[in-house]
Copies of this chain bind each other. A is one copy, B any other.
Amino acid sequence: MRQTLNELIARMPFNRLLGLRVARTHRDGITIECTLREELHNMAGVLHGGVTATLADAAVGMAIHHHFKGVRRATTVEMKINYFLPIDHGKVRARAHLIRTGSTLCVGRVDIFDARKRLAGAALVTYMLLPNA
């Protein structure tokens, strides 16, 4: 399962550019991760908030894919993210919990953890399910 999802994530050019990987699947979601490198930094030498936002967005997208076993397509409607701590080394992980799967909208809650497993951010992400082609 994780391998299939990792093949999927690697088919998305921007996720591949960032080096996102599926770390684990859960009953109610998924954990994805990314290893810090200099290219992902902001000027302060820590992880750029845009990378963290991308992780949150992708984690919920993958969780929806996982939940619907890949048969439903979905697109991000909106996202909200709070940043608590600068992330300066190692792996950052985004744990998505799918908290609402409606007929039109799905919502995921995401916890962002730094390499020391401290809560470094939190997000709420809404996707809209698209009609099947």
Q: Annotate A103-126 by CB proximity to B: 1 below 8 A, 0 otherwise.
A: 011010100000000010010101
Name the residue on B nearest A18 (C-beta).
Answer: B50
Chain B contacts for A77, CB-based, 8 A:
82-83, 105, 126
A54 in contact (CB, < 8 A): yes
CA distance A42 to B43 in the complex (A): 26
CA distance A83 to B119 in the complex (A): 25
Chain B contacts for A84, CB-based, 8 A:
99-100, 102, 107
Q: Are B78 and A79 in contact (CB under 8 A)?
A: no
What's the number of copies of this chain in the assembled complex? 4
Q: Are A104 and B104 in contact (CB under 8 A)?
A: yes
Q: Are B54 and A41 in contact (CB under 8 A)?
A: no
Chain B contacts for A92, CB-based, 8 A:
none
Chain B contacts for A83, CB-based, 8 A:
75-78
Contacts beyond the supplied A13-B41, A14-B42, A77-B83: 20 A-B pairs with Cβ under 8 Å: A11-B43, A12-B41, A12-B43, A14-B48, A14-B51, A15-B48, A18-B50, A44-B73, A50-B57, A53-B57, A53-B81, A79-B81, A82-B124, A84-B99, A84-B107, A100-B119, A100-B122, A109-B109, A124-B124, A126-B126
